[in-house]
Amino acid sequence: DTGVSQDPRHKITKRGQNVTFRCDPISEHNRLYWYRQTLGQGPEFLTYFQNEAQLEKSRLLSDRFSAERPKGSFSTLEIQRTEQGDSAMYLCASRLDRGDEKLFFGSGTQLSVL
Amino acid sequence: GESVGLHLPTLSVQEGDNSIINCAYSNSASDYFIWYKQESGKGPQFIIDIRSNMDKRQGQRVTVLLNKTVKHLSLQIAATQPGDSAVYFCGFNQAGTALIFGKGTTLSVSS
């Protein structure tokens, strides 16, 4: 257990529905990252926050995706009007913004869009 | 563009053998490299990292080698055990950007 918690672990939804995932990072970590991983692939970067500020977003992140970190602690990732291509593992990771650069990953949320 | 790749998608070894997992990267400006292990149904777990001012770093049963001349990174696992069976990812970043990962090598250890 890395100390990064994600909820839910699994989500099954129908195409067109909205879903929201939550990530609780390690408490003293001010950087929080979202990645997406499909079967057989490495994690693909989506976006990251430093405290409550969203500092970078990948071109992969369509306008149906939105992420927030309102108080600089937990974060949510929302996908609107889900599509079957959104089916993937969504990983959250955290780290401090200085010193050691390694990321601590959560166990992920597995999304299946039917 | 930036990319991270691994030479082989799968690697099968016998218990007790040494394993070598390779990774090639394209961005010569990268200054930080990392290896993760991912077991089925779990998130990636940190193994070892190295900065570009080094060419070798050792951990417990693992060694990372960095060859900046040919942009190659490798992970060596000594005396491989069944518990080492997993998918291994290499990654890199540059100052101010997020880690970027390759596709992964699946290591299978038979006893």
DSSP, residue by residue, B33-56: EEEEEE-TTS--EEEEEEETT-SE
**% pLDDT > 90, chain B:** 72
Q: Of A94, A28, A6, A21, which Cα lies nearest the Cα of B99?
A: A94
Contact A102 B46 (CB under 8 A): yes
Between the two ends of chain B, the Cα-to-Cα distance in Å is: 41
B100 touches chain A (CB under 8 A): yes
DSSP of A21-45, one letter per residue? EEEE--TT--EEEEEEE-TTS--EE
User: Which candidate in A6, A33, A36, A37 is best for mutational testing of the B interface (most B CBs within 10 A)?
Assistant: A37
Residue where the block lists tokens 């090639």: B24
The pLDDT of residue B95 is 62
Interface contact B41-A104, CB threshold 8 A: no
Most confident of B40-44, B94-98, B106-110: B106-110
Q: Report the C-alpha gap between B91 and A10 in whole angstroms.
A: 26
Chain A positions touching B35 (Cβ under 8 A) are none
The interface residues of chain B toward chain A in range 60-99, judged by CB-CB distance below 8 A, are 89, 91, 93, 97-99
**Chain B residues close to A108, C-beta within 8 Å:** 42-43
User: Which tokens in the block code for residue A29?
Assistant: 């970590």
Backbone angles phi, psi at A87, to 5 degrees: -60, 125
pLDDT at B96 over 80: no
- Whether the CB-CB separation of B43 and A108 falls below 8 Å is answered with yes
Closest listed residue to residue B73, CA positions, set B3, B4, B1, B2: B4
Query: CB distance B99–A103 less than 8 Å?
Result: yes
For residue B1, pLDDT beyond 50: no
Residue B101 DSSP class: E
- Mean of all residue pLDDT scores within chain B: 89
pLDDT in tens, A51-98: 999 999 998 789 999 999 998 899 999 999 999 999 999 999 999 888
**Whether the predicted pLDDT of A10 surpasses 60:** yes
Give the per-residue pLDDT at B6: 53
CB contact under 8 A, B34 and A102: yes
**Is residue B4 scored above 60 in pLDDT?**
no
